[in-house]
Structure 1
Amino acid sequence: MKTTKPHRIALLFNGNKSFDREVISGIAGYLGSTRAAWDLFLEEDFRLRLDGIERWQGDGIIADFDDPAVAKALSRCAVPVVAVGGSYSDDGAYPRGLPYVATDNFKLIKLARDHLIDVGLQRFAMFSLPRSSENRWALERENAFRALMLDDRMDAEIFRGCETSASSWDEAVEGQIAWLRSLPKPIGIIAVTDARARQLLQACAIGGIAVPEQVALIGIDNDPMVRMLTRIPLSSVMQGAQEMGRTAAHLLDQMLHGVRLANTRIMVPPAGINVFASSKHEATRHPHVMRAHHFIRQYACQGIKTHQVAEYVGVSRSSLEACFRQELECSVHDVILRFKLDAAKARLESGESSIADVALGCGFTSIQYMHFVFKRELGCTPRVYRDRARGEAGLAA
């Protein structure tokens, strides 16, 4: 039987970035659904290193061109190259002579802001990154935010803060808290990445700023690592990174078979929003309810009780219950349970934990009690809920 010699393809991405991992996942999806035979080169630790890439003797490359060092290193590459990266308003920012698959930065920001408008907010700000050649995509997101605010005749409040480093961490946090306190409330903030959003969530907690009552926050990337590191589940815009990976692989496959695609440009829109507690702004009239929500949102999964919430707010249990009944038409326990249920649903959807671990991690007293709550509130067991989520994710892919 005749066998086809595989094409040797280099993937130049950083596996520590959620966006890059999703692009690689899309490439894998393309290969799994076609007869393309590729021998893939990635660094063993999935980090991007350019040393010696000019001597690459393979057949093609797919690379992250948001990094200008990558674009420079591949500017005279002899093998077919497909570039992946952010979209740019300046046509001259794109590499010449290469097909380019872009995430639509304008639509990412618009989707985030539209969501904040939908939850009833009227003031908006952005948390970005310091200017640098490596952060050109962040500047594009800033420009998109400015354009949207200009259309509504509003000022564009943008804060860049410091680069993340051990030596500047205290200064960075202090600057974030000072900026947050200076903003009019309530306000919706778009962070250019989930990593930046996570920093703001921490700053809000340290500064005693209620999320999302005073600050509603949404990031970009839908990064599972960030979700594990935040007490308040983070809302996030999902980039169409897997679709970008599939598209890039398809373009390179065509080039390997002689199709000329120089300067082909494909823009991929966002895949949607994962909405969690950080952006679920609800105007509350009573300060006791707002303060209680702030505490519950952070500690519901640690098994807190109504009397502990009342102690935090500084009122009697009966007074707090009366406020909740008047404001929300439910009990404090109902709200605690709702947050635990939402956290359990998110962990089951991610598929990263067993049902027993989910029950323990979300503050349920037992697997049986979580089973009872799921049946009562959702009409299905945790296992059925998880299996349905996996099935829907498979269909979406």
Structure 2
Amino acid sequence: MSHPHGVHRIALLFNANKAFDRQVIAGIGNYLASTRVSWDLFMQEDFHCRATDLIEWCGDGIITAVDDPIYTALRQVDVPVVAVGGSYADASRYPKGLPYIATDNAALVRLAYDHLIEQGLQNFAFYSLPLAPNIPGWAEERERLFDAMLRRDGLEGFIYHGHATTAAGWSDATEALMAWLQSLPKPIGVLAVTDARARQLLQACMMADIPVPDEVAIVGIDNDPLTRMLSRIPLTSVQQGTEEMGRTAAHVLHRMLHGADCSDTRVLVPPENLHVGASSMYQSVCSPYVMRARHYIRQYGCLGIRTEQVADYVGVSRSLLEEHFRRTLKRSVHQEILRHKLEIAQDLLRQGESSMADIAVRCGFTSVQYLYTVFRRELGCTPRAFQEQQLADARA
């Protein structure tokens, strides 16, 4: 069934509260914007995907993120359906008779694992989702893949499922997470199953006074902008090829609406990139004073802190802390604070979403003019020139 003038009614069954789903939807939107396809899109404002919603849909097609519980319902729908989800080593986990666009879980985990290996780490852990009958299949798959990579390399890993994220149980969950982190051998690299879980790790480390990344290096999955905004320490994260998944799913459905048989189509989409932030940039530092100082700087370096405040936090005199910094890093505490502020400013410039005035404020520079002065002195270019070059490199 279709509307006049070739317009098709398409249901997008996604949970817009999830970064993965939002990014897939963006990819679908990109496909529509770059083609002459004309679709009337339906999305539930208050997402609750039930089997009856699928079976009773009176439109022309569906694109949906799926997990095991609704596979049966999808097979009963009498319109073209394209499924989007995670990849599995066990092919029986895929819905039968439906085209399936999958994020490559093996490549996601490999990219994060290799990054932690490259940092010189030798201990590794995985922070998953709670064990429950309805645990998402993709979470189990990522955990299994991580464990397999460690065993292949002859390494021991530590896996923690934690607790569900609820307001009532949040304090107990955080205490348990802190206890787990404190029990791990240090230094250690931890891969979180999602950015949301990675942010929980960052919070628990700060509450337990565990330096990140000096003792715990953290990598997430999703590259969620919301998580970046809520994290004091910039998070390293694997960006899935979700927009490409959305574009591919829309293209497959477009073909099906015009009579193509795509029931056996299965597309594996690799991750787009690894966005490296301070959370995983482990650097072996012998001095515990420097380690604690850098942990403090990563949290508060953009808030106008001075060397004296850093020394107070570490619990030593300014002169002793300066001596350790000179000996260990070959720079002063002030230079380390400035270096941190510049790193944050560079990251914001790469994203291209903030004004110069906003970047100056967020990075602790007293004015835009001072931001320009520091960039010229330290990097030999203006912030604007740096941003233009980064955006040009990204397009190349």
Q: Establish whether TM, by shorter chain, passes 0.5.
A: yes
Partner deviation per Cα, 1:48-91 (whole Å, 9 max, x = no partner): 5446332222111110013x344343221111111000111221
The equivalent of 1:221 in structure 2 is 222
The equivalent of 2:66 in structure 1 is 65
d(CA) in 2 for partners of 1:65 and 1:390? Answer: 35
Q: What's the secondary structure of 1:82's corresponding residue?
A: strand
d(CA) in 2 for partners of 1:355 and 1:196? Answer: 31
Partner deviation per Cα, 1:322-341 (whole Å, 9 max, x = no partner): 21111111111111111111
The equivalent of 1:87 in structure 2 is 87
- 1:192–1:248 Cα change, 3 Å: same
The equivalent of 2:349 in structure 1 is 348
d(CA) in 1 for partners of 2:97 and 2:104? Answer: 20
The equivalent of 1:380 in structure 2 is 381
d(CA) in 1 for partners of 2:9 and 2:388? Answer: 37
Offset of residue 343 of structure 1 = 1.3
d(CA) in 1 for partners of 2:122 and 2:69? Answer: 40
d(CA) in 2 for partners of 1:21 and 1:385? Answer: 30
d(CA) in 1 for partners of 2:275 and 2:255? Answer: 34
The equivalent of 1:35 in structure 2 is 36
The equivalent of 2:178 in structure 1 is 177
The equivalent of 2:110 in structure 1 is 110
Offset of residue 204 of structure 1 = 0.6
Offset of residue 296 of structure 1 = 0.4
d(CA) in 2 for partners of 1:166 and 1:31? Answer: 39
Q: Structure 1 unaligned runs (5+)?
A: none
Q: What's the secondary structure of 2:130's corresponding residue?
A: coil
- 1:48–1:371 Cα change, 3 Å: farther
Contact kept? 2:345, 2:359, Cα under 8 Å:
yes
Residues 1:305 and 2:298 aligned together: no
Offset of residue 250 of structure 1 = 1.1
Contact kept? 1:63, 1:70, Cα under 8 Å:
no
The equivalent of 1:268 in structure 2 is 269
Contact kept? 2:123, 2:156, Cα under 8 Å:
no
Q: What's the secondary structure of 2:231's corresponding residue?
A: coil
Q: What's the secondary structure of 1:52's corresponding residue?
A: helix
Partner deviation per Cα, 1:22-61 (whole Å, 9 max, x = no partner): 111111111122221211111246x354463322221111
The equivalent of 2:293 in structure 1 is 292
Offset of residue 350 of structure 1 = 2.8
The equivalent of 2:205 in structure 1 is 204
Contact kept? 2:123, 2:157, Cα under 8 Å:
no
TM-score normalised to the size of structure 1? 0.94
Partner deviation per Cα, 1:97-120 (whole Å, 9 max, x = no partner): 001011111111111010001011
Offset of residue 303 of structure 1 = 0.9
d(CA) in 1 for partners of 2:332 and 2:56? Answer: 67
Offset of residue 306 of structure 1 = 1.0
Q: What's the secondary structure of 1:129's corresponding residue?
A: coil
d(CA) in 2 for partners of 1:171 and 1:270? Answer: 34
Q: What's the secondary structure of 1:39's corresponding residue?
A: strand
Offset of residue 358 of structure 1 = 1.5
Contact kept? 1:13, 1:48, Cα under 8 Å:
no
Contact kept? 2:188, 2:215, Cα under 8 Å:
yes
The equivalent of 2:6 in structure 1 is 5
d(CA) in 2 for partners of 1:370 and 1:60? Answer: 51
Partner deviation per Cα, 1:348-374 (whole Å, 9 max, x = no partner): 333333221111111111111111122
Offset of residue 154 of structure 1 = 2.0
- 1:134–1:183 Cα change, 3 Å: closer
Bigger mean CA deviation after superposition, 168-177 or 3-12: 3-12
Q: Structure 2 unaligned runs (5+)?
A: none
The equivalent of 1:195 in structure 2 is 196
Moved over 4 A (4+): 387-393
Aligned length: 391
Offset of residue 392 of structure 1 = 5.1
Bigger mean CA deviation after superposition, 33-42 or 170-179: 33-42
d(CA) in 2 for partners of 1:177 and 1:215? Answer: 12
d(CA) in 2 for partners of 1:41 and 1:34? Answer: 19
The AA in structure 2 aligned to 1:202 is Q
- 1:261–1:373 Cα change, 3 Å: same
The equivalent of 2:96 in structure 1 is 96
Contact kept? 1:61, 1:81, Cα under 8 Å:
yes
The equivalent of 1:76 in structure 2 is 76
d(CA) in 1 for partners of 2:322 and 2:111? Answer: 37
The AA in structure 1 aligned to 2:33 is G
d(CA) in 2 for partners of 1:392 and 1:84? Answer: 31
Residues 1:339 and 2:346 aligned together: no
Offset of residue 389 of structure 1 = 4.3
Contact kept? 1:185, 1:214, Cα under 8 Å:
yes
Bigger mean CA deviation after superposition, 186-195 or 47-56: 47-56
Contact kept? 1:131, 1:139, Cα under 8 Å:
no
Contact kept? 2:66, 2:84, Cα under 8 Å:
yes
Contact kept? 2:75, 2:97, Cα under 8 Å:
no
TM-score normalised to the size of structure 2? 0.94
